[in-house]
């Protein structure tokens, strides 16, 4: 039998991501770079090993994997090497790829620094910036050099925490594996992943089983595990080949409730809960509620833990010591928004800009998921990489939306929107008379995010004063893990948005999750309205909605404050009143 090299999906994805990075720095045509990135994304998201797909002769059935990329994958499996990558790394130093993670540092500048100054590492770039060498290069200056330094500092501030969009699907896979073990009654997420934080440290899981030994053995011997960092009868921790880390608790079913509450945290919430327990004569641990005489109350369910302390069950998203225990004691916990209450998607893209689906295909994907309203909101023209709409193209698109609506009948309502670009000076891509023709206008900024605080804040304030802007999309512009949001005076932005009754978007895509929970809560408390949108560019993006709902739940938001939950008639009446005004 041939001696094949079984690269994991994650390893393959990293290889094609590296090819894309280095090709972009080299100056390769953009469509080739995007093809490699698309292949990397598809490989990372596969629910089946690419090696097995290759052996069945179906590599080209993987989205984004055409004949040329399939041949490269086959070369890796059969030889363990990739000649194309070896040639590329001989031309472009691989260490340059790290510089792409520095905010606002694009491939052209990286290539300039490398070719003119021989810079190949982050340390060399920082040294050149601090000694004034960058400002002498073409297209650079003192301000540009200062922005590079600011970007390097931002890059260094990043933690090793994992975006929830990467951790969550892998956690689901681990849960499915653990639930298949004989004797396991239940497996649940815990820790910051269960609380819905945008980034997590480790993946925390909790299993209910009478005998922990077989569960721990299966957990530690998983073929993807490359390092066991701790092992014990009740708790073990591992690291996987793709870099993610997980820890597993195993407790008897009758003690699962206290263990799950403890493992979910947060640490600060648990401290408050233990203080409350002590006042009532209890000692609360992950194992049980105990009296001083040693007697125990075992809780198989979390609700029993809270009930024993005189509290209603507190949703995990609220457990951050932000007043939730006091609210529970006073009977003032909010009725948090639920995923099932979302009726509308108000921000989605089609092939008219950078989406993957036609208007008809996108509408069918939304209708299939039970949505009642879909706003087609492609990009406007100045965001050139998206192939955005001109005013003339927007008119043509409106006619197509009307044709598709006739075909769909009353099964879903389509509205014509736009994601209009906020330019660096705060102006919008389209004049007011063009914006007035759309059913809904979302204004977003994607560029010039590193402007000074006062300048970038005033830029948004100018937009919020425009009567045609209905929604401010992903307000800070952040992207996990590589791009910090703009340095905004958020209190000023929130006040202006509230004054002009502009909706703030919680962008549900796990690479954004912007607005974050702290500012979303503040805006809701001010009486402001929110929207939760997936920013869908493909059908699978609709299934990311739960991430945005989780942010809203962490923000103590109720359904009434989210316009996506409104019936069609109410949404249309609200839009009509805004546009009439």
Q: What is the pLDDT of residues 129-178, one digit of tens each?
A: 999 999 999 989 998 898 898 888 877 766 568 899 999 999 999 999 99
Cα–Cα distance measured from residue 198 to residue 514, given in angstroms and rounded to the nearest whole number? 10
pLDDT given for residue 84 in this prediction: 95
Of the candidates 329, 348, 381, which is a domain's last residue? 329
517 Ramachandran zone, left/alpha/beta (phi>0; psi -120 to 50): alpha
Cα–Cα distance measured from residue 328 to residue 306, given in angstroms and rounded to the nearest whole number? 10
Kindly state whether residues 101 and 192 are assigned to the same domain: no
> 3-class DSSP state for residue 533?
strand
Please answer whether residues 340 and 532 qualify as being in contact, where contact means their C-beta atoms are separated by less than 8 angstroms.
no
pLDDT(196) > 60: yes
Q: Give 472's strand partners.
A: 443, 504
pLDDT band per the 50, 70, 90 thresholds, residue 1? very low
Please answer whether residues 502 and 523 qualify as being in contact, where contact means their C-beta atoms are separated by less than 8 angstroms.
no
Give the containing element (helix H, strand E) for 346.
Answer: strand 344-348
pLDDT given for residue 258 in this prediction: 97
CA nearest neighbour of 442 among 411, 412, 464, 410: 464
Kindly state whether residues 372 and 499 are assigned to the same domain: yes
Cα–Cα distance measured from residue 381 to residue 229, given in angstroms and rounded to the nearest whole number? 51
Determine, yes or no, domain membership for 4. Answer: no
Cα–Cα distance measured from residue 359 to residue 301, given in angstroms and rounded to the nearest whole number? 46
Kindly state whether residues 224 and 118 are assigned to the same domain: no
Kindly state whether residues 347 and 477 are assigned to the same domain: yes
Burial pattern 1-17, b for ≥16 Cβ within 10 A else e, equals eeeeeebbbbebbbbbb
Burial class (CB in 10 A: 0-12, 13-18, 19+), 416: buried
Q: What is the pLDDT of residues 294-312, one digit of tens each?
A: 899 999 999 999 999 999 9
CA nearest neighbour of 195 among 314, 297, 84, 363: 314
Kindly state whether residues 188 and 319 are assigned to the same domain: no
pLDDT given for residue 2 in this prediction: 63
Of the candidates 157, 183, 201, which is a domain's last residue? 157
pLDDT(54) > 60: yes
Determine, yes or no, domain membership for 1. Answer: no
**For 124-133, 255-264, 329-338, 541-550, which range has the lowest pLDDT when averaged over its residues?**
124-133
The more confident residue out of 30 and 462 is: 462
Kindly state whether residues 393 and 306 are assigned to the same domain: no
pLDDT(317) > 90: yes
CATH of the domain at 496: 3.20.20.140
Rounded (10°) CA dihedral 211, 212, 217, 222:
120
pLDDT(354) > 60: yes
Kindly state whether residues 324 and 401 are assigned to the same domain: no
Determine, yes or no, domain membership for 139. Answer: yes
Determine, yes or no, domain membership for 334. Answer: no
CA nearest neighbour of 559 among 334, 367, 374: 334
Return the percent helix, strand and coil in the chain, to nearest 5.
50, 15, 35
Question: Per the structure, how many domains does the chain have?
Answer: 4
Please answer whether residues 25 and 111 qualify as being in contact, where contact means their C-beta atoms are separated by less than 8 angstroms.
yes
**Arithmetic mean of pLDDT, 250-276:** 96
Which residues constitute the domain of residue 243? Answer: 162-251
Determine, yes or no, domain membership for 130. Answer: yes
**For 274-283, 316-325, 477-486, which range has the lowest pLDDT when averaged over its residues?**
477-486
pLDDT(219) > 90: yes
Please answer whether residues 228 and 247 qualify as being in contact, where contact means their C-beta atoms are separated by less than 8 angstroms.
no
CATH of the domain at 303: 3.30.210.10
CATH of the domain at 97: 1.10.150.110
C-alpha count within 13 angstroms, C-beta hemisphere, residue 2: 8
Kindly state whether residues 152 and 175 are assigned to the same domain: no
User: pTM here?
Assistant: 0.79
CA nearest neighbour of 412 among 462, 463, 448, 362: 362
Burial class (CB in 10 A: 0-12, 13-18, 19+), 79: exposed
Kindly state whether residues 218 and 241 are assigned to the same domain: yes
Determine, yes or no, domain membership for 547. Answer: yes
pLDDT(581) > 60: no
Strand order, beta sheet including 471-472: 344-348, 373-379, 413-421, 440-444, 471-472, 503-507, 530-533
Determine, yes or no, domain membership for 2. Answer: no
Kindly state whether residues 382 and 278 are assigned to the same domain: no
pLDDT band per the 50, 70, 90 thresholds, residue 384? low
Q: Which long-range contacts (CB under 8 A, 24 or more apart) does 176-183 make?
A: 177/218, 177/222, 178/205, 178/207, 178/215, 178/218, 178/219, 178/248, 181/209, 181/214, 181/215, 181/218, 182/214, 183/209, 183/210, 183/211, 183/214, 183/215
> 3-class DSSP state for residue 56?
coil
For 469, residues 6+ apart whose C-beta sits below 8 A from its C-beta are: 420, 428, 435, 441, 442, 443, 463, 502
State percent of the chain over pLDDT 70.
98
pLDDT given for residue 206 in this prediction: 98
C-alpha radius of gyration, the chain, whole number: 26
Of the candidates 127, 157, 187, which is a domain's last residue? 157
**Arithmetic mean of pLDDT, 547-562:** 98
Burial class (CB in 10 A: 0-12, 13-18, 19+), 577: exposed
Kindly state whether residues 89 and 104 are assigned to the same domain: yes
pLDDT given for residue 240 in this prediction: 86
**Arithmetic mean of pLDDT, 489-508:** 97
Kindly state whether residues 454 and 550 are assigned to the same domain: yes
For 405, residues 6+ apart whose C-beta sits below 8 A from its C-beta are: 413, 414
Q: What is the pLDDT of residues 395-435, one digit of tens each?
A: 999 999 999 999 999 999 999 999 999 999 999 999 999 99
pLDDT given for residue 115 in this prediction: 92
Determine, yes or no, domain membership for 81. Answer: yes
């Amino acid at each position: 039998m041939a001696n094949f090299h079984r690269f994991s999906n994650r390893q393959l994805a990293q290889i094609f991501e590296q090819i894309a990075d280095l090709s972009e720095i080299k100056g390769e045509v953009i469509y080739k770079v995007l093809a490699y990135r698309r292949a990397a994304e598809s490989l990372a998201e596969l629910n089946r090993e690419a090696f097995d797909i290759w052996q069945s002769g179906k590599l080209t059935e993987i989205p984004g994997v055409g004949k040329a990329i399939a041949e490269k994958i086959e070369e890796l499996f059969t030889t363990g090497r990739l000649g194309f990558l070896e040639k590329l790394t001989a031309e472009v130093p691989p260490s340059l790829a790290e510089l792409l993670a520095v905010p606002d540092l694009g491939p052209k500048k990286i290539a300039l620094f490398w070719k003119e100054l021989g810079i190949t590492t982050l340390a060399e770039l920082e040294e050149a910036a601090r000694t004034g060498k960058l400002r002498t290069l073409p297209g650079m200056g003192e301000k540009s050099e200062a922005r590079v330094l600011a970007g390097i500092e931002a890059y260094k501030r990043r933690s090793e925490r994992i975006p929830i969009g990467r951790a969550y699907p892998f956690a689901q896979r681990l849960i499915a594996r653990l639930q298949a073990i004989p004797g396991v009654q239940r497996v649940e997420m815990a820790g910051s992943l269960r609380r819905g934080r945008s980034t997590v440290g480790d993946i925390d899981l909790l299993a209910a089983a009478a005998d922990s030994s077989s569960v721990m053995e299966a957990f530690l011997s998983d073929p993807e595990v490359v390092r066991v960092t701790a092992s014990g009868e009740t708790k073990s921790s591992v690291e996987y080949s793709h870099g993610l880390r997980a820890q597993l608790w195993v407790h008897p079913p009758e003690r699962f409730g206290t263990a799950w509450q403890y493992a979910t945290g947060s640490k600060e919430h648990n401290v408050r809960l233990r203080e409350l327990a002590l006042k009532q004569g209890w000692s609360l641990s992950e194992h049980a509620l105990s009296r001083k005489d040693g007697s125990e109350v075992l809780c198989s369910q979390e609700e029993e833990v809270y009930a024993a302390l005189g509290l209603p069950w507190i949703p995990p998203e609220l457990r951050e010591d932000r007043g939730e225990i006091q609210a529970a004691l006073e009977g003032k916990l909010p009725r948090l928004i639920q995923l099932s209450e979302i009726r509308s998607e108000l921000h989605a893209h089609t092939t008219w800009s950078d989406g993957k689906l036609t208007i008809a295909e996108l509408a069918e994907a939304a209708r299939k998921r039970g949505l009642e309203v879909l706003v087609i909101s492609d990009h406007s023209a100045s965001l050139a990489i998206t192939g955005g709409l001109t005013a003339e193209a927007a008119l043509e698109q409106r006619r197509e939306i009307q044709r598709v609506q006739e075909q769909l009948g009353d099964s879903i309502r389509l509205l014509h929107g736009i994601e209009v670009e906020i330019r660096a000076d705060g102006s919008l891509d389209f004049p007011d008379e063009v914006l007035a023709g759309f059913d809904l206008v979302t204004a977003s900024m994607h560029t010039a995010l590193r402007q000074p605080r006062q300048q970038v804040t005033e830029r948004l304030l100018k937009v919020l004063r425009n009567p045609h802007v209905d929604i401010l999309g992903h307000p800070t512009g952040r992207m996990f893990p590589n791009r910090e949001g703009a340095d905004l005076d958020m209190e000023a932005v929130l006040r202006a948005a509230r004054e002009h009754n502009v909706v703030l978007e919680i962008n549900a895509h796990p690479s954004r999750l912007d607005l974050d929970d702290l500012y979303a809560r503040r805006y809701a408390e001010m009486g402001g309205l929110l929207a939760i949108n997936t920013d869908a560019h493909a059908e699978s993006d609709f299934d990311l909605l739960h991430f945005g709902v989780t942010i809203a739940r962490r923000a103590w938001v109720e359904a009434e404050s989210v316009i996506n939950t409104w019936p069609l008639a109410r949404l249309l009446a609200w839009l009509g009143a805004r546009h009439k005004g």
